[in-house]
Each structure stands twice: as C-alpha cells, then as structure tokens.
Amino acid sequence: MGPLARTRALLGTTAALALLTACSSGGEDTATDSAPPATAEEQTPEVPQGAITEAQALEVITAYSQANNQAYRDLDASLLEEIEGGSLLQRSLADLEQYLGRPEADREPIEDWEYINPKVFIPAGETWWMAQASEAPDAGGLRLLTFAQGEGESWLLVSVVPLMEELPAIAIDEHGLAQAAPADDPAGALLPQDAAAAYGDLWETGGEGPGVPLITTGGGQEILERRSTEDPLLEASYTATTPEHEHTWALRTEDGGTVVVATVAHSETLTAATGEVVPGEPSAHYNPTPRNPLITHHTGEIAVSIPAAADPQVLGDRWHLIGAG
C-alpha cells in the first residue's frame, strides 16, 4: 500500500522479503546408521509449525516498509509488484498511476513511513499470517496486515486495513501459534465466507439483506453514514461486485469467534438531478468528460470481528478507486 492510498482512503533490497522457510529447521542428519524406529509409546506428537517464525515475520515487515518507501521515491511500479500481491497491489498500482497522471506541480510530496510495534499472528499449517501494527509518523493509527506466500519463498503483503479499534484477543496456543478458522466456521452469527457479502450489502441496500448482522454495531453504522453524498443534487448508489482477487482469511479468537479479512469490490454510480456530473480526481484520470451518470469502480479489503456470542462488527475497511466508466 502506497503512502498516497493511506492518506486518501489508505531492503534496501526485496531479497529480505524472500526469507527461506527452511532456515528455521535444523541441518541434515549426516549419520550413516539410522536409529531403530520408535515404538508407539516412544513417539512424540508432532509440534505444529508456522510457515515463518516470529523473528522472520518482523524482518519481513521492516523490509516491506523499506521497499515500499523506495518504490514511491523512485515511482517504481515493478518494485511494488515484487513486494505486494492481490487486491492491495491492484489498488497500489492504480494509486501510483493516478499520481503520475497529474502535472508534476500538482503532485503531493511523498514522505517515508514505517510500521512500528507489530504484533504477529502466525497460524499453524498455513501459507499466510497477520500482524497488527501502528504506522509512523501516524503512530496512533492501527493497521491489520496480511502477508501471503508468493512465488518460491517470498512474502507478499496482500491486505492492509486501518482499524477503528484494537483487535479482539487472538487465540494463541502453547507453541505461540495462532489458529486459522475455516471459511464456513459456524461459531458466530456470520460465516467468515459471508463477511464480504454482508459488507457489500451495507453499501448496496443499507443493510436490508445479508448485511443485517453488521448494522447494530458502530462500524456498520459508520458505513451507513458514509453512503450518503454531501451534495443534495447528487444521488449515489452502490453495487457490490466480485473482486478480481477474491479471498478470505480468518483467525480464531479467544472467545471462540473469528477475525476475518476479506477482499471486496463495488461500483459507485453518481446521478445528477440536472445536467452532468463533472469528474474530479482520481476518476478524471480515467475519463475527464462530464457525463450523467458517473460510474466508478473500487476494490479493497475489510476486517470483521465475528464473536461467538455477540453481533459481528466491521473493524475497518480500505478501498481505492481503480477505474471509471
């Protein structure tokens, strides 16, 4: 996620992001004589493993911040493609494209930043993990990061969601590992796999359909407030769409519920009561012609808490305009 997207919505080398997953394992046994197989009584349970250690995850987070700063200093889309993936990369590339499309005199300065105070959640047996971190210099803002394994042994940041409040307590086992929850986990009032549709319904209908479980909490109410336009001569409507990079990740919480990160997408239609809608930035980058209606396309990610015995809550969302019709 680039600094521009963060302010608007939100390694020196990238080799640091390609940590070897094998480096946490011991060396090969070079003995020529093998020990006799253990009996059932002698066998010990296999210790669960994460795809990365906590120390390595912290290095990946630091390396990502450094590489992202370098990419924006150099206005280098190819570097972003080496460190990001999925929906996040899609909106970062759109953000950079829109920035470069402005006259140089109109381009806002890009400042360096970093993630600080990360708290890492690594689920056993998965090829992804999450972290909650603050973003400096905006140290008061919490972000929920999701990293997924890329090609080979690289790690790509695939989601960044600004949080309205700290995460609920994530369940951690005796080995220091989190637990992934299945997409159809029935513990709460909403299945993790249905979180994106419920969120989309808040925008599309105001929560009259699958979004009903989300409208009772603060996050859902805030989205309902954001649906309306400030211009009385403009009417806004929203259509939930399928994101190009559709995915859901979920972690078990201490109360038996889940924290869900999911990709989302929607189209926004602005209709003028009279005349035409004059596109502003960034939609004008794609088509500056005044028209009625004006349709724009957006993609991003959400974080939702689904407690075991309480109403689900939108913890945060972040999306970015990626096109206009």
DSSP string over 232-250: TTEEEEEEEE--TT--EEE
Q: What is the pLDDT of residue 242?
A: 97
Question: Which amino acid does the sequence have at 47?
Answer: V
Q: The whole model's pTM is what?
A: 0.86
pLDDT, tens only, 119-159: 999 999 999 999 999 998 876 689 999 999 998 889 999 99
For residue 25, the model assigns a pLDDT of: 38
Q: State pLDDT tens for residues 211-260.
A: 999 998 888 999 999 888 778 889 999 999 999 999 999 999 999 999 99
* Residue ranges with strand state E in 200-233: none
pLDDT of the residue at 153: 80
pLDDT, position 41: 55
Please report, rounded to a whole number, the percentage of residues in the chain having pLDDT higher than 90.
Answer: 75
The sign of the torsion formed by the CA atoms of 135, 173, 247, 311 equals: negative
pLDDT mean over 163-174: 94
Cβ of 66: how many Cβ atoms within 10 Å?
A: 19
Mean pLDDT of 283-289: 95
Residue type, 222: E
Task: Give the burial class of 273: count Cβ atoms within 10 A of its Cβ; 0-12 exposed, 13-18 middle, 19 or more buried.
Answer: exposed
Check residue 232 and give its pLDDT. Answer: 86
pLDDT in tens, 3-55: 444 433 333 344 445 543 334 333 343 334 455 555 555 556 688 889 999 99
| Cβ-Cβ contacts under 8 Å for 59 (sequence gap 6 or more) | 16, 19
The whole-angstrom separation of Cα 126 and Cα 147 is 11
- What pLDDT does 36 receive? 59
Phi, psi of 221 (to 5 degrees): -65, -35
The pLDDT of residue 90: 98
Stated length of the chain:
325
Q: Residue 46: its pLDDT value, please?
A: 81
pLDDT, residue 43, reads: 58
